[in-house]
Amino acid sequence: MAGNPSVVVDKILNSAWADHLFSVMKTAEREGQFSAHSIYPGRTRALLAFSGQGRDPADLVGFLTYILGEDDIPPAFMVNVLYVLPEHRRKGVAEQLMRSAIAMAVNVRSSDFSLHVKQDNSPMRGLLKKMNQNLNAQPFRYNLAVVPKYAA
């Protein structure tokens, strides 16, 4: 992983954090860098990557929101949004967030780790390829093979 590693923190999103992350996504969408999704406070959790020791919104360098199907046995893990602020891209933050998410899914013995990726999202497709993930043929939805492989 290139660059300085970030500190990744798991957080259940309260309305203030959900509003902040959604605002970041909407700004990126207006700039043509991102297609924003919904964030559901209290239902969605997030891995937040921070620079240095700070834990304030100003220290945020990227985030990965996810839904953990805790009512499912074993629980399903779905990545909702992965976003890295432009000035922190190509420094390993996205890979660090994905690896943290994979570790969490393995820890809860999830049987399904999935995410939706638009066909024209070459950065995400490149990251998945770098992580040796074979993407299935189903359009826009990818089930990664990481969990059954490591959850023995």
Give tens-digit pLDDT for 14-53: 778 888 888 888 888 777 766 655 555 555 688 888 987 7
| pLDDT bucket at 96, cuts 50 / 70 / 90 | very high
- Tell me the sheet residues that pair with 93: none
Chain mean pLDDT for the chain: 76
Question: How far from chain centre, in Å, is Cα 4?
Answer: 18
Residues 83-109: what's their mean pLDDT?
A: 89
- Domains along the sequence of the chain with CATH: 7-150 (3.40.630.30)
Other CB atoms within a 10 A radius of the CB of residue 30 amount to 10
| pLDDT bucket at 74, cuts 50 / 70 / 90 | confident
110-132 per-position pLDDT tens digit: 877 788 777 777 888 888 888 87
- The residues, any chain, with a CB within 8 Å of residue 52's CB and separated by 6 or more, are 7, 59
Residue 85 has pLDDT above 70, yes or no: yes
| pLDDT bucket at 4, cuts 50 / 70 / 90 | low
